[in-house]
A = this chain, B = another copy of it.
């Protein structure tokens, strides 16, 4: 058994197939991918990586398996899935994931191809584990895939605690020990034992509090959008391919952006934190449905039109339209009065938090500081927003619940 010191879970003992997987290039690569991408530009201590998070998820999965009384080959397969669950991440984690997925058809949890080759395949085979079964678990499928990717998965339990620890924000502190201990399998569903409505709620509350101050902090949003735009340019000019980009680490992507003349300005801005500013920061209710439902190509069209209307370079406009808010935790299952029920049917909080997630949602249009006014007006005309209200929004902070670090 290898024992590894972790700043969140203290000692983590790794053994069996997980110990063999630990030494593979695919897993070692995660040491060089920051868990929160560009969030470090807001919270300087947030430099933790997908590698330590993978160890944490393995640790909680192992504890959960032991509580659930699952052992043997099934357990070993799940432990493999736990430690491998993030092996498909692009550099800077979610920041360029959609970009790569549009071209490769693979999101970060679609990893069959990665498990079926090289050292990972060898390690799995050595322990009589079928790579495709592990890939299925990572995608949330199979009997116990819910433990890896589902409403009550150990992934979430680890990242909420870990992200809070490393950002220094006190809001993500859930009782991971209790959550793991209270998991049950009933009729093929992962649920929380009786008496845990509040335990389940605390997961949602933590995410709801972390969202605006960490995950969707406007500086994180802007820097992530700039990184994504720069990476897209890199692909467009043929400096790299989507398949290569998918397997880079943070260092590889940073240097590629610096070395390509089309993206060097973005790289310089990211390196020196000379970020774009908000030209528009609009609430969900003010955004037309056709913008919300537009695909990537249409949004790029909008950007070009805004740039042209504002008389600025096309790269000086970034239109950032997140997916509509959703809260998968709300379907977590808890045992109440002897029956399995969805959390949303039991909890007043869930309804409120769902509404809060709608209120926290923002569309952003970003531009270099000196262009924000022109770009804001052009965006208003192009995508049909009411600019007067929004200028106030940006500059006076209407309804903003965001930390302005």
Is A165 located at the chain interface by the 8 A CB criterion?
A: yes
- Residues of A168-216 whose CB lies within 8 A of B: 168-171, 173-175, 177-178, 181, 194-198, 201-202, 205, 209, 212-213
Chain A: interface size category: 35 or more
Is A255 located at the chain interface by the 8 A CB criterion?
A: yes
- Indicate the member of A2, A205, A258, A404 with the most B CB atoms within 10 Å: A205
Give the residues in chain B near A402, CB-CB below 8 Å: 195, 198
**CB nearest neighbor in B for A45:** B7
Give the residues in chain B near A31, CB-CB below 8 Å: 40-41, 44, 273
State A11–B182 Cα separation when bound (angstroms): 12
Is A231 located at the chain interface by the 8 A CB criterion?
A: no
Q: Contact between A209 and B213 (Cβ–Cβ < 8 Å)? A: no
Is A237 located at the chain interface by the 8 A CB criterion?
A: no
Given A195-B400, A348-B352, also A174-B168 (CB < 8 A): no
Q: How many copies does the complex hold?
A: 4
Give the residues in chain B near A49, CB-CB below 8 Å: 44, 47
Is A250 located at the chain interface by the 8 A CB criterion?
A: yes
Q: Contact between A170 and B173 (Cβ–Cβ < 8 Å)? A: yes
Is A366 located at the chain interface by the 8 A CB criterion?
A: no
| Contact string against B for A residues 374-405, beta-carbon threshold 8 Å, 1 for contact and 0 otherwise | 00000000000000000010001111111111
Give the residues in chain B near A353, CB-CB below 8 Å: 349, 352
Is A143 located at the chain interface by the 8 A CB criterion?
A: no
State A400–B337 Cα separation when bound (angstroms): 9
Give the residues in chain B near A47, CB-CB below 8 Å: 34, 47-49, 52
Is A328 located at the chain interface by the 8 A CB criterion?
A: no
Q: Contact between B359 and A348 (Cβ–Cβ < 8 Å)? A: yes
A residues contacting B by CB (< 8 A) are 2-8, 10-11, 23-25, 28-29, 31-32, 34, 40-41, 43-45, 47-49, 51-52, 55, 165-171, 173-175, 177-178, 181, 194-198, 201-202, 205, 209, 212-213, 249-252, 254-255, 258, 271-273, 336-338, 346, 348-349, 351-353, 355-356, 359, 392, 396-405
CB-CB nearest 4 A-B residue pairs? A352-B352, A251-B251, A7-B45, A198-B401
